[in-house]
């Protein structure tokens, strides 16, 4: 799986380097969270919806069996960086710079 992630990162880097072949921001964010873009509005098992891809034309789905769980799945709350957490925890937030807190 790590090899696949490295190859995807290399592919994205190469696509960004070629003018006109850049991926949309929502697709880059999805892939950055180890997500996959699906045509359907709902994600197949064991995936969970985590935003959009291809300029909101597809659904970003992340694997719920991996180590990349959403913040809410772990019982936390996503907050912007300017808010201080009493206790942070591991979990993905829809905005890359936000953090996952168990207590504010």
pLDDT reported for residue 17: 47
pLDDT reported for residue 62: 83
In the chain the domains, ranked by start, together with CATH numbers, are: 23-66 (3.10.360), 69-103 (2.20.20)
What tokens does 91 get?
Answer: 């979990």
Which string of DSSP letters, residue by residue, matches 46-104?
A: TEEEEEEETTTTEEEEEETTSS--BTGGGT-EEE-TTSPPSEE---B-SSTT-EEEEE-
Whole-model pTM?
A: 0.48
pLDDT reported for residue 7: 57
Per-residue pLDDT tens for 17-70?
A: 444 457 888 888 888 877 888 888 888 888 888 888 988 899 998 877 766 667
pLDDT reported for residue 47: 84
CA angle 65/11/50 to nearest 5° reads: 35
């Amino acid at each position: 799986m790590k090899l696949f992630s490295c190859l995807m990162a290399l592919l994205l880097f190469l696509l960004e380097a070629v003018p006109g072949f850049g991926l949309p921001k929502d697709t880059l964010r999805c892939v950055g969270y180890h997500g996959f873009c699906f045509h359907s509005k709902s994600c197949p098992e064991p995936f969970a919806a985590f935003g959009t891809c291809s300029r909101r034309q597809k659904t970003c789905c992340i694997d719920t069996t991996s180590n990349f769980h959403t913040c809410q799945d772990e019982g936390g709350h996503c907050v912007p960086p300017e808010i201080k957490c009493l206790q942070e925890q591991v979990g993905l937030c829809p905005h890359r710079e936000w953090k996952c807190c168990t207590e504010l």
